[in-house]
């Protein structure tokens, strides 16, 4: 017994002396901190808690605070007030303690943990023992609401990722996914394990909470949400939760439309920067989506991204303030549904599958009206809903079209021939098929299922075709593919269809075309005018054009499944008519925006696979909003009044629901926001390959919105893609006080943004710094980030 008491006393003495020691060290670091800050941005900065080891509980509290502060221990809880969050932890105390151990175990390689252990002269066992002693009561003293965390990390991710992949690895498909089953080898695998463990722990806490409450609930945990969190100032004070079924779409080998310069942001805050050198060392500047994915995962780990796996099923207004969000999730093999209360919602749900032209349930897409009546499509659609032809959701009411009735309804909005086309459209939708009655539903179901023997899906949506590696195994080599659609995704499907992979070293030319693995015919209804001028898309178009496999102005008439396993596709091809053509055979048709006299030729083609990609929709998120009006008419873009720039979308009457990125600009819902962002592309002279809903623009808008909300400056700005007004604010804060100097410099910067596809090159920035005599104040970071020469504290 005495032995036990002595043991206990000696343990307490040990702990106390450790506490005093650690206290002294932290004080020492505190004293050095201002010097460290002004001397180097790369220095390790240490948490600023003072340790007083007057009792083991107090000591445990202080050690824990430091571990949290350094990001070594990740705590997560819910509740809008400090008391609520504290009670939450106390109620789930065992889970909380388990989580501390897991965090420490996960951080064994973390230099910050090493740093604390070395400084304190404490082993990992001693730290764990101390943590085991903690008493639920100390949680009340833990500054849960405002744990101060220094964002600056002791490393730059740019210097980590180049070591991850050898050229061979880069070229081998999905090696990193397969590696999940192997021994942990790379930083990435380490990241994935850490992230999954953290998400699972968070999910367990969430599960054990009877009435979860958060300030911010994010729907989606892909790239845009990850950036949203990364750029958010004081993120560790946020009581937030991001729910998503997965980590977003970028998991396969896919060449993004953009080059590296426009996808780069501060190395300090945006640790998710892949290294541009990886792509560039292969002689191309296009970024491989997989690198971005790795960077995103790393960012989520080091920024403690508060994600949980799950799906948001329903969002409705709460009786008092805020919203009630129903989340479905799976834990330990069981399905669960729980309702979370949130004050604010951030939507980053991205794009859905390609538009399904085999419309199975009498549902069709409003873009069909766009094709027929152009800008007035929304107005026409509203009138048809009013006339009882459609429900607001896009579903048919089964009312048969009556031309006289339609004439009355639409006479001020449409031409006569447009009205008869609309009548045909309604008739066809009512019959449960899309325009042209392409395929019966049982064939569609069979043909859109993956065929193990063939190694591909005979009829597949373009997104699935290019984003997953499943469709591109060597088993499926030697097939004939028809790609249907005139946009960027169809261009990527063409590329991938020809070579079965999409790695950066394949530049499409008539020479490389000789080495194709498959044949591709690329067809489009109106031409390829929705194709932006991206290098990859333009190369694909010109190569297919030169080889006679680019067919504009085609309508699909029917698809038949043949006994030999092939698809027989009937197409109407429209060709400009010779002047001598018989007028009876001439049909007027819009080709690349111009009305032309055409003749129709029917062709029958046999192919092995049809890839359809006829426009991008958002993920059908309208359906999850319950009693909240969400439509193209109710989405408004919020602007920063002073900078006069768009920031994010919101719903009329619901300023606490925010939309970002692709979810904001896609499909009919996002048409208005897409137009606004298209104006930004022009007014800001945004480099080529950057569309309204693309990542670079989504990220610069998110950055502007956090800045607008908090006034917190970023360590650097992207000269090619950040809003000019945001850069101006930063230049001012970095000591360039003369507005005339800033304005002249920015005029030049913006003008040079389109010099290359990757934006303004570092050489031009250098030249402009020289020209405007700013070299003593500004410098370049990475490919084209501007930052002040003197590092100023960002805290």
Ligand X SMILES: Cc1cc2nc3c(=O)[nH]c(=O)nc-3n(C[C@H](O)[C@H](O)[C@H](O)COP(=O)(O)OP(=O)(O)OC[C@H]3O[C@@H](n4cnc5c(N)ncnc54)[C@H](O)[C@@H]3O)c2cc1C
CB distance 635 to 653 below 8 Å: no
CB 506 to ligand X: min, Å: 16
CB 263 to ligand X: min, Å: 8
CB 309 to ligand X: min, Å: 9
Shorter beta-carbon distance to ligand X: residue 150 or 493: 493
Q: Which residue in 265, 250, 226 sits closest to 492, CA to CA?
A: 250
Q: Which two tokens stand for residue 42?
A: 């790369």
* Strand order, beta sheet including 717-718: 717-718, 785-788, 778-781
Cα–Cα distance, 632 to 653 (Å, whole number): 14
Asked if 225 touches ligand X (CB under 6 A), the answer is: yes
Asked if 619 touches ligand X (CB under 6 A), the answer is: yes
Shorter beta-carbon distance to ligand X: residue 122 or 695: 695
Shorter beta-carbon distance to ligand X: residue 443 or 539: 539
Q: Which two tokens stand for residue 226?
A: 């990850």
Shorter beta-carbon distance to ligand X: residue 257 or 523: 257
Buried b / exposed e along 619-649 (16+ C-beta atoms within 10 A)? bebbebbeebebebebbbbeebeebebbbbb
* Strand order, beta sheet including 586-591: 554-561, 567-576, 594-607, 586-591
For residue 537, the Cα-to-chain-centroid distance in whole angstroms is 21
CB 114 to ligand X: min, Å: 33
Shorter beta-carbon distance to ligand X: residue 223 or 549: 223
Residue 123 burial by Cβ neighbours in a 10 Å radius (0-12, 13-18, 19+): exposed
Element (H, E) at 319: none
Q: Which two tokens stand for residue 579?
A: 């002047």
Cα–Cα distance, 400 to 159 (Å, whole number): 64
CB distance 40 to 791 below 8 Å: yes
Asked if 219 touches ligand X (CB under 6 A), the answer is: yes
Shorter beta-carbon distance to ligand X: residue 288 or 359: 288
Asked if 288 touches ligand X (CB under 6 A), the answer is: no
Shorter beta-carbon distance to ligand X: residue 497 or 661: 661
Q: Which residue in 489, 526, 618, 658 binds ligand X (CB under 6 A)?
A: 489
Shorter beta-carbon distance to ligand X: residue 548 or 627: 627
CB 324 to ligand X: min, Å: 15
Which residues from 356-375 bind ligand X, rule CB under 6 A?
none
Cα–Cα distance, 274 to 298 (Å, whole number): 10
Q: Site mask, ligand X, residues 435-474, x = CB under 6 A?
A: ----------------------------x--xx-------
348 Cβ contact partners less than 8 Å away, ≥ 6 residues apart: 218, 219, 220, 221, 222, 224, 225, 228, 659, 660, 661, 663
Q: Which two tokens stand for residue 269?
A: 């805050």
Asked if 585 touches ligand X (CB under 6 A), the answer is: no
Cα–Cα distance, 639 to 188 (Å, whole number): 38
Q: Which stretch binds ligand X (CB under 6 A): 168-176, 198-206, 660-668, 744-752?
A: 660-668
Which residues from 291-320 bind ligand X, rule CB under 6 A?
311-312
Asked if 623 touches ligand X (CB under 6 A), the answer is: no
For residue 396, the Cα-to-chain-centroid distance in whole angstroms is 33
Q: Which residue in 53, 71, 222, 394 binds ligand X (CB under 6 A)?
A: 222
Distances (CA, A) of 607 to 434, 482, 604, 622: 21, 7, 10, 36
Which residues from 118-137 bind ligand X, rule CB under 6 A?
none
* Residue 330 bridge partners (DSSP): 335
Asked if 664 touches ligand X (CB under 6 A), the answer is: no
Residue 366 half-sphere exposure toward CB, CA atoms < 13 A = 25
Q: Which residue in 99, 202, 221, 525 binds ligand X (CB under 6 A)?
A: 221
Shorter beta-carbon distance to ligand X: residue 228 or 390: 228
Asked if 340 touches ligand X (CB under 6 A), the answer is: no
Asked if 355 touches ligand X (CB under 6 A), the answer is: no
Which residues from 240-259 bind ligand X, rule CB under 6 A?
243-246, 248-249, 256-258
Shorter beta-carbon distance to ligand X: residue 381 or 522: 522
Check the CA dihedral 727-733-736-737 and report its sign. Answer: positive
CB 504 to ligand X: min, Å: 13
Shorter beta-carbon distance to ligand X: residue 489 or 535: 489
CB 610 to ligand X: min, Å: 17
- The span from the first CA to the last CA of the chain, in angstroms, equals 52
Shorter beta-carbon distance to ligand X: residue 487 or 784: 487
Q: Which residue in 695, 717, 749, 768 binds ligand X (CB under 6 A)?
A: 695
Q: Which residue in 223, 253, 269, 609 binds ligand X (CB under 6 A)?
A: 223
Asked if 262 touches ligand X (CB under 6 A), the answer is: no
Distances (CA, A) of 639 to 389, 631, 647, 743: 37, 19, 5, 21
Contact footprint for ligand X (CB under 6 A): 219-225, 243-246, 248-249, 256-258, 311-312, 348-351, 463, 466-467, 489, 619, 624, 661-663, 694-695
């Amino acid at each position: 017994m005495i032995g036990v008491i002595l043991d206990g006393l000696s343990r307490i003495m040990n702990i106390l002396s450790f506490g005093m020691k650690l206290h002294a060290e932290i004080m020492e670091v505190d004293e050095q901190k201002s010097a460290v800050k002004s001397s180097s941005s790369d220095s390790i900065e240490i948490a600023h808690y003072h340790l007083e080891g007057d009792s083991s509980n107090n000591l445990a509290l202080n050690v824990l605070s430091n571990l949290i502060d350094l990001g070594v221990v990740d705590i997560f809880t819910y509740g809008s007030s400090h008391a609520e969050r504290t009670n939450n932890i106390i109620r789930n105390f065992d889970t909380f303690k388990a989580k501390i151990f897991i965090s420490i175990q996960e951080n064994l390689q973390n230099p910050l943990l090493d740093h604390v252990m070395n400084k304190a002269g404490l082993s990992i066992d001693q730290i764990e023992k101390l943590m085991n002693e903690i008493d639920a009561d100390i949680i009340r003293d833990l500054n849960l609401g405002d744990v101060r965390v220094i964002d600056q990390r002791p490393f730059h991710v740019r210097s980590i990722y180049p070591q991850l992949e050898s050229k061979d690895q880069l070229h081998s498909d999905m090696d990193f996914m397969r590696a999940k089953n192997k021994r942990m080898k790379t930083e990435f695998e380490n990241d994935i394990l850490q992230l999954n463990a953290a998400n699972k722990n968070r999910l367990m806490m969430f599960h054990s909470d009877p009435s979860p409450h958060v300030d911010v609930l994010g729907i989606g945990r892909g790239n845009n949400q990850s950036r949203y969190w990364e750029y958010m100032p004081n993120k560790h004070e946020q009581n937030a939760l991001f729910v998503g079924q997965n980590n977003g779409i970028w998991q396969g080998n896919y060449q993004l439309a953009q080059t590296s310069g426009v996808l780069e942001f501060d190395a300090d805050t945006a640790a998710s920067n892949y290294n541009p050198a990886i792509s560039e060392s292969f002689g191309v500047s296009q970024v491989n989506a997989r690198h971005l994915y790795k960077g995103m995962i790393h960012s989520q780990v080091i920024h403690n991204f508060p994600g949980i796996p799950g799906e948001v099923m329903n969002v409705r207004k709460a009786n008092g303030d805020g919203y009630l969000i129903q989340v479905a999730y799976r834990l330990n093999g069981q399905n669960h549904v729980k309702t979370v209360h949130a004050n604010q919602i951030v939507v980053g749900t991205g794009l859905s599958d390609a538009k399904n032209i085999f419309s199975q349930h009498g549902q069709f897409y409003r873009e069909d009206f766009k094709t027929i009546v152009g800008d007035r499509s929304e107005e026409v659609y509203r009138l048809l809903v009013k006339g009882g032809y459609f429900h607001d959701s896009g579903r048919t009411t089964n009312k048969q079209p009556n031309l006289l009735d339609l004439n009355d309804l639409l006479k001020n909005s449409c031409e006569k021939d447009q009205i008869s086309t609309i009548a045909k459209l309604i008739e066809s939708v009512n019959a449960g098929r899309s325009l042209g009655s392409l395929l019966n539903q049982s064939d569609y179901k069979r043909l859109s299922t993956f065929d193990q023997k063939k190694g591909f899906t005979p009829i597949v949506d373009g997104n699935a075709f290019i984003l997953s590696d499943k469709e591109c195994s060597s088993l499926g080599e030697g097939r004939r593919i028809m790609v249907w659609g005139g946009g960027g995704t169809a261009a990527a499907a063409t590329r991938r269809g020809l070579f079965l992979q999409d790695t950066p070293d394949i530049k499409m030319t008539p020479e490389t075309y000789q080495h194709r693995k498959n044949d591709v015919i690329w067809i489009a209804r109106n031409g390829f005018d929705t194709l932006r001028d991206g290098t990859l898309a333009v190369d694909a178009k010109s190569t297919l054009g030169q080889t006679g496999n680019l067919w504009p102005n085609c309508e699909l008439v029917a698809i038949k499944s043949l006994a030999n396993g092939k698809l027989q596709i009937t197409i109407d091809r429209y060709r400009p008519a010779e002047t001598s053509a018989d007028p009876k055979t001439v049909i007027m048709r819009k080709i690349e925006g111009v009305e032309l006299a055409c003749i129709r030729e029917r062709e029958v083609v046999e192919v092995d696979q049809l890839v359809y990609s006829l426009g991008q929709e958002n993920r059908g998120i309208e359906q999850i909003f319950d009693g909240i009006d969400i439509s193209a008419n109710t989405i408004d873009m919020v602007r920063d009044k002073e900078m006069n720039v768009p920031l994010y979308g919101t719903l009329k009457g619901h300023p606490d629901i925010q939309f970002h990125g692709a979810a904001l600009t896609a499909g009919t819902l996002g048409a208005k926001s897409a137009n606004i962002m298209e104006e930004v592309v022009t007014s800001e002279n945004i480099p080529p390959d950057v569309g309204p809903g693309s990542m670079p623009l989504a990220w610069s808008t998110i950055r502007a919105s956090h800045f607008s909300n908090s006034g917190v400056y970023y360590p650097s700005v992207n000269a090619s893609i950040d809003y000019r007004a945001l850069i101006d604010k930063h230049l001012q804060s970095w000591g360039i006080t003369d507005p005339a100097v800033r304005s002249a410099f920015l005029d030049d910067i913006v003008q040079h943004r389109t010099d290359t596809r990757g934006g303004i090159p570092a050489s031009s920035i250098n030249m402009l710094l020289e020209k405007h005599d700013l070299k003593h104040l500004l410098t370049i970071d990475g490919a084209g980030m501007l930052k002040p020469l003197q590092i100023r504290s960002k805290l």
